[in-house]
Amino acid sequence: MLRSLLMTLVFGATLAGCSSEAPRPAEPAEKKPTEAAVPEEYKDAAAALLGSEAQVLLYGDLAKNGTKQILIADMVPNTPKSTVAGTVVTRAVVAENDAGNWKELLRVDEYLKNGSGYLALTPLTPVTGWKLQYENSPEQGMYLYFTPVSKGESEKTLPIGVRWNPEKKRYQSMDLSYQHFLGEAATLENARSRLR
């Protein structure tokens, strides 16, 4: 009797482990958004300044001067691998909201330019793409670093640092130590660095 009771328990336990339902896959983990949603105001400004393909990279008080600014760019979808970190862009703009209108403060296309001319250290030959690196310091504001992208060249090129100059009230390039602002040139022949 003990033996038949034991056999019944073992047989019942075996049947309980079998199920006609397939095991359900684990619930997927909740996906977190990879980036914060960009307000429509900034998306509209990006489309107006660079077209519908432009992407908003940073927005807010980027210069730490109390005004709304935006960094937008036309990005190359598949950034080529290189020794220089960053994202390849063909065009970029930093614009400021001035009483509801967005005005360009810095334009990056074949050259680096602001409202006063070509930034110092801008290459004399047109550039088809730039490696863009940026950081946004809570104290100093946005730092931009542009490195010209050139096919087939093994020569290492140093990034051109660009920052808001609070004294001149515009974006300017910086010397190679990133300590001093450099002036602009009205034409490209004179675009080489002049310390100001």
Summarised one tens digit per residue, pLDDT across range 105-153 is 999 999 999 999 999 999 989 999 999 999 988 888 999 999 998 765 5
Distance CA 72, CA 49 (A): 9
Would you say 173 and 118 are in contact if contact means Cβ atoms under 8 Å apart?
A: no
Beta bridge partners of 148: 130
- The string of pLDDT tens digits covering residues 2-41 is 445 444 544 454 444 454 444 444 444 443 344 568 999 9
Kindly report the number of other CB atoms within 10 A of residue 168's CB atom: 14
pLDDT tens across 187-196, in order? 886 544 444 4
**CB contact burial 57-82 (16+ within 10 A = b; e otherwise):** bbbeebbbeeebbbbbbbbbeebeee
Q: Are strands 117-119 and 112-114 parallel, antiparallel or unpaired?
A: antiparallel
Segment (H or E) for 101: strand 101-108
Q: Domain boundaries in the chain? A: 40-190
